[in-house]
Structure 1
Amino acid sequence: MTAWRLFVSDHSEPKVTAVDAVKREVIDTFQVKAPAALYRSSSGAAVFAVQRDGNVVSTISTGIAFDDHGDHRDLDVEAPRLTGAEIAGGYPVHFVEHHGQFAVFFDKEGAARIFGERDALNGKATSREVSSGAPHHGVAVAFGGHDLVSVPDLQEPSNLPVGIGVLDRVGAELGTVAECPDLHGEAASGNILAFACSTGLLVVTYGKVAPEIRHLPYADGLPDGKATTLLGGRGLQYFLGNYGPDKVVLIDPTAEADAFRLVELATRRVHFAVDPVRARFAYVFTEDGQLHQLDVVRGEMLASLKLTDPYSMDGPWSDSRPRVAVAGDNIVVTDPLQSKLHLVDAASFTKAVEIAVEGRPFTIVAVGGSGQTHEGKETHAHHHGDGQIYKGYFEDSQISDRPLSDYAGDWQSVYPYLQDGTLDPVWMHKAENGETSAEHYKAYYEAGYRTDVERITIEDGTVTFYRAGKASAGRYAYDGYEILTYEKGNRGVRFIFRKTGGDSDAPQFIQFSDHKIAPEKADHYHLYWGDDRAELLKELSNWPTYYPASLSAGDIVAEMLAH
């Protein structure tokens, strides 16, 4: 089943309209307190209506939820609804999600409130507060076990921020402020976060103790200008930013040279969006009413399509102008003056259909996808099967061969969460119930989890390893299993796969250990890889560990605490 929903705010009325993009009809309209900017969660389960003039952020459950089972996803569809969870404060503007934690900055307070998706969907408005020290047009990001908070210009608070400070979870400042004049605009792509400055970008990555921040200066060859809005690439690691009124800039945060590529536009830019489905493309809407398809690899426009009457960029920035979103196989553009949405077929880049929406449809987000459905409400519980097997006590007769499809899916390394302190509650919990200190547990798991492979995808016999966003893939066939006996007397089983083709730098052998000994979908796993099958079996101290990419940092902590 495929389900896509569009959530559209009105430019002048305090309402949000939910639209079924498959049936192409309005589902419901939700009254809020003031005209809103909309942001969707990465899971797609929630949409947040940020109401600057209403001094509140409201939560809408999209009614679309996925349960990832590796080789397939289950899809649950319900009616969308306001959950009742509201985060109140003076003049909310910047709203940022990072690994399942949402931070909304209140300009009139100079403070951010940070909360989780589960609470918001359950109607709870619980949050923690992070202060920047003074009211200003600022931003905050929950970054693992730390908070990144904009630093105001204390000489002239009405100016844009001058840098980024790093705070621990009790609000203590760590290190010095990372300078970022005229800070405005932030985005994440993969495991990299970026802030836009008048001098270039601040690029943030996970460090061993605290976030590492480096300055990526604008190239000397660029014309005068700066980016003030950033979007992060999905599937490919890059950033797309505005640059003056009639240009956009593609940014490779890992490049040592030629990190910035400027793309000229024929007329002034109105809005732009990246494609989360077709990673190679982004879209730019210009004031002449045209939508342009941008190839982010080649750095050039491939096609243009006339959609609306002209929308001049003269006049106030807050005037109602089109916005762009991507909903599966369609690109959707709002047309406020004509009270409609334009759907464009992404494959052919031709106009598909229009959907009427009362009022002035303005900001838009899309949520949805495809998945399997079940009759009634079926719950898929997380479990580890027999508890003794999980602990490593079993009979040889209980072991069965397992297919690679048991491990299919998109997986994230937990090592960055150990490095940034996110997993500290796990070590404290172990210390309370174990035989050593939290520090010893952390050191043990630091050696175990350590890896430079931040992501792994497994699909149709192909395993792809991602290092710093760069992919290396191999095709693998089952090569049997081996039983290991540990010092404590318990045992483990490694299910082994041998490379049959693919990139030369992909390992010859991969060995899975996930506490299961017979065919069953993995909910997490430890992975060993190398070119010598026998030597690899001797590795007992380093076991890079992977959880589904769909889980937030908080979800992973909860999973670990449950076991």
Structure 2
Amino acid sequence: MLRNLAYTTAITLVLSGGALAQEHDHSHEDVTLYRVFVGDHAEPHVTAFDLGDPDNRWTFETTGQNKLYTVNNGAAVVAVQSDDDAVSFFNSGISLHAHGDHSDIEISDPAAIEETLTGPRPFHMIDHNGKAVINFDRGGYAEIIDTHELSHGELVTTRLPQARAHHGYAAPIGDTWVTSVASDAPVEGDAAPDRIGLQQVNEDGSPVGEVETCTAIHGEAFSGAYLATGCQEGVLTVTDGEDRPVFEMLQYPNDLPNGESTGTLLGSKAVQVFLGNYGADGLVVIDPVDEPHFRYIELPFRRVDFVLDSANARFGYVLTEDGTLHQIDLLDAEVAQSARVTEPYSMDGHWNDPRPRLAMAGDEVIMSDPNAGLVRRISSETLEEVGTIEVEGTPYNIVVAGGSGVVHGAEGEHHDHEHSHDHDDDQIYQGYFDDDQVEERALSDWAGDWQSVFPYLEDGTLEPVMKHKAENGDKTAEEYHEYYEVGYQTDVERIVIEGDSVTFYENGEPLQARYASDGYQILTYEAGNRGVRFIFEKIDGDEDAPQYIQFSDHGIAPAAADHYHLYWGDDRAALLKEVTNWPTYYPSSSSADEIVRDMIAH
């Protein structure tokens, strides 16, 4: 059987662009910067400070108490003030742009955006595919915000009408939209209408198809190809189908505690998995593809807040009311370790009473501690406190922007990272594009006779490439060699593609099969950029030939490839999670020197 080597369990992997592009040649300074935004519980303002230098501090006045969100990879911050019918916006002052093996970072002071939104009770906000969507619960509509424009200080919005005002949400699915739906049954007094399901709608809000049942619909998140939302019956998932969205209800299994449901969901950006609440003292790890869909984790006390680890997709963290922080292992669906980090915060009382909130900053869990007037820094590895920062007032809702990147400072070598509205070829190569730009591709795009570059790495031919990367990157030449040794590793030294036939050569022995297109999958990487896997399924041929092959070559539309990364195996979904091993092929007619020059040029 052909081997496409995987070195780490798929769910532990964090998607990165490193396999998909070479570095840019620029002098640089490596910088890691995280900026924390904290909304006060009692006073209408937001405090921002640099985590590593909290004396760098800014205060922004708002209308009311703020629920904070980051959008566009942290370039902007949205402050939703539900009780005061307002939404404010800020530039975080940190902009990250992915370039394959590294990200560039641009740093400035944070700033308030002059324009705001007002309307009756803004609440849920979704950030997906370049759009931030805020539901105005008492207005019967959602406002759609272009997050790219927002990151450049401009508030550009469109409105999506809903059939009836209710506490719900709207979300983009491919080229269309879905929105929660409320019952038409009359209500008395201040009671809210019953939420009954989810439905596809056009841009003008007109319904398409039937309402998909989801009683008491609440909470939503994206992960991979899936939107998930909590219901009394289970978790309703939505994916982008050929003609319309595809809905599937994942019903709660009988072995979960009776009478509970999921109302809050977090979606991993690295692998296709969700973490949701289940009752006051439980969590569920949700796999939208494979069974068991639900794995339950019982907590020792009621849950206060929880967050996913953005640096290591295997873990999440949950704070319980006894003041203990628990590390959650999503792979094993269990509590991995626990540590006391603050005084107890009872969950008795109102849901909006001041209690700690969690966010992530690299390898630290950042926690607001309202009663202590602190923001606490906690090691995600050991759960030990590594520092505290005093914040005036009652620090409550919290988000973190930033990360690690390269600052380009040499004269004449400055990157211009303002992305054009035309999404030119350079942007697409970097992984910035819209879903509607992606087109199906035929196997003929990769036709030809191809050679693996792995032997060139092993015999030292690619050492000039590793040295070049070390001169401009954050690793030594030896470390880059080790990184690409895992990435390029393969026993398939040659591939020949003719028509629908693919022949793999391992130690000179051929293995042949015929393949037909099985669509494509858009992947979002941890750095914020994206890529496309073009997938083909075996229709006949040698038994040991892989059932699926997946091409990645930086392109998103029909075009002949000049090189490509190939993933293969018998599990379509598992292949989409593979990001450490990406055998890379150049034309067999290319000389070693030509391959080296091409790699250095990119």
TM-score (norm 2): 0.67
The answer on 1:106 being equivalent to 2:136 is yes
Q: Contact between 2:226 and 2:239, CA under 8 Å: does it hold in 1?
A: yes
User: Structure 2: any 5+ residue segments left out of the alignment?
Assistant: 1-30, 420-424, 446-453, 455-478, 499-503, 515-528, 539-544, 552-556, 566-575, 577-602
Is contact 1:26–1:357 with CA below 8 Å preserved after alignment? no
Distance across 1 between alignment mates of 2:150 and 2:138: 23
1:313-352 alpha-carbon deviations (Å, 9 max, x no partner): 1111110000011101211111001100110112222111
Q: Could you tell me how far 1:476 is from its partner in structure 2?
A: 6.0
Q: Name the structure 2 match of 1:258.
A: 292
In structure 2, the residue matched to 1:379 is 415
1:315 to 2:349 alignment? yes
Greater RCO structure (CA 8 Å; 6+ sep)? 2
1:51 matched residue in structure 2:
81
Are 1:164 and 2:194 counterparts?
no
Note if 1:122 corresponds to 2:136: no
| Residue aligned with 2:381, SS | coil
Q: Is the 8 A contact 2:373 2:394 kept in 1?
A: yes
TM-superposed deviation, 1:85 = 3.0
Aligned positions, number: 451
Match of 1:244 in 2: 279
Identity of aligned residues (%): 34
In 2, Cα distance between equivalents of 1:523 and 1:230: 22
Q: For residues 25-79 of structure 1, give each alpha carbon's deviation from its aligned partner in whole angstroms, at most 9, with x where no partner exists.
A: 4520111111110011141101100011221211110000112222221111100
- Pick closer, same or farther for the CA change 1:526–1:204 going to 2, 3 Å: closer
SS of equivalent to 2:440: helix
Separation in 1, partners of 2:171, 2:251: 22
CA distance 1:86–1:258, change in 2 (3 Å): same
Q: Are residue 289 (structure 1) and residue 359 (structure 2) matched? A: no
Name the residue aligned to 1:190.
224
Q: Return closer, same or farther for 1:354/1:137 CA change in 2, 3 Å cut-off.
A: same
Q: Secondary structure at the match of 2:38?
A: strand
Whether the 8 Å CA contact 1:246–1:269 is kept in 2: the answer is yes
What residue in structure 2 maps to residue 303 of structure 1? 337
Contact 1:229 1:241 in 2 (8 A): yes
Q: What corresponds to 1:490 in structure 2? A: none
Moved more, 269-278 or 167-176: 167-176
Aligned to 2:474: none
Cα gap change, 1:171 to 1:135, in 2 (>3 Å): closer
Report the 3-state secondary structure (helix = DSSP H, G, I; strand = E; otherwise coil) of the residue aligned with 1:371: strand
Cα contact 2:163–2:205 (8 A) shared by 1: no
Task: Tell me, yes or no, if structure 1 residue 93 matches structure 2 residue 129.
Answer: no
Instruction: Find the aligned partners of 2:37 and 2:217 in 1 and give their Cα distance.
Output: 29
Between the aligned partners of 1:67 and 1:174, the Cα distance in structure 2 is 37
- Separation of aligned partners in 2, 1:315 and 1:41: 31
Aligned-pair CA distance for 1:131: 1.6
Task: Give, as a single letter, the amino acid of the residue that structure 1 aligns with 2:289.
Answer: T
Equivalent AA in structure 1 for residue 263 of structure 2: T
What is the alpha-carbon distance in structure 2 between the residues aligned to residue 142 and residue 304 of structure 1? 37
In structure 2, give the amino acid aligned to 1:153: S
Asked if the contact 1:288/1:310 (under 8 Å) is kept, the reply is yes
Whether the 8 Å CA contact 2:162–2:205 is kept in 1: the answer is no
Deviation at residue 115 of structure 1 after TM alignment:
1.3
Measured against aligned partners, the alpha-carbon deviations of 1:179-200 in whole angstroms (never above 9, x if no partner) come to 1000000001112110110100
After superposition, the CA RMSD in angstroms is 4.2
Counterparts of 1:15 and 1:87, CA distance in 2? 16
The superposition leaves residues 422-477 of structure 1 with CA deviations (integer Å, 9 ceiling, x where unpaired) of: 34xx9xxxxxxxxxxxxxxxxxx4354999xxxxxx9968999xxxxxxx976269
1:313–1:528 distance in 2 versus 1, CA, 3 Å: closer
Partner residue in 2 for 1:235:
270
The 1:461/1:56 distance shift into structure 2, 3 A limit, reads: farther
Which of 68, 71, 89 does residue 38 from structure 1 map onto? 68
8 Å contact kept, 2:130–2:148: no
Q: Are 1:21 and 2:51 counterparts?
A: yes
Distance 1:160 1:98, change over 3 A: farther
Comparing 192-201 and 68-77, the one that deviates more: 68-77
Contact 1:293 1:303 in 2 (8 A): yes
State whether residues 45 and 61 of structure 1, in contact with CA within 8 Å, keep that contact through their aligned partners in structure 2: yes
Q: Given the two structures, how large is their TM-score scaled by the length of structure 1? A: 0.72
Deviation at 1:153, TM superposition (A): 1.6
Does the 8 A contact of 2:50 with 2:56 survive in 1? yes
Amino acid at match of 1:379: H
Q: How does 1:337-416 map onto structure 2 within 5 Å?
A: 337-375=371-409, 378-380=414-416
Shift of 1:87: 2.2
Tell me, in whole angstroms, the C-alpha distance in 1 between the residues paired with 2:196 and 2:482. Answer: 46
